Amino acid sequence: MAQTREAATVEAAAHVLREIMGIPAKSIPFTLLNNAQGLVIIPGMIKGGFVVGIRHGSGVVLSRDEAGNWRRRRSAP
């Protein structure tokens, strides 16, 4: 079965997060990640850095629910 664009974006974002967390000098400190209320992962931006005024791109937005669990936010159609 062909992978949807949304599923491919989620998988790419998960891959980017695994790569970043696997590099001790560049990983997100556990205490920062543990206290974060939200997280945005844009796979195509990893090599370009963070740029103000992005016009295009696909990524994943995660936020914590009331119980403190990560939940993916769905984009509006």
Give CA–CA dist 2/21, Å, rounded: 29
At 39 the pLDDT is 87
Residue 17, pLDDT > 70, answer yes
Q: What is the tens place of the pLDDT at every residue in 38-70? A: 988 877 754 444 555 545 667 888 899 999 998
Give CA–CA dist 36/54, Å, rounded: 23
pTM flag (> 0.85)? no
As a whole number, the mean pLDDT across the chain is: 78
Residue 74, pLDDT > 80, answer no
Query: Beta partners for 63?
Result: 38, 71
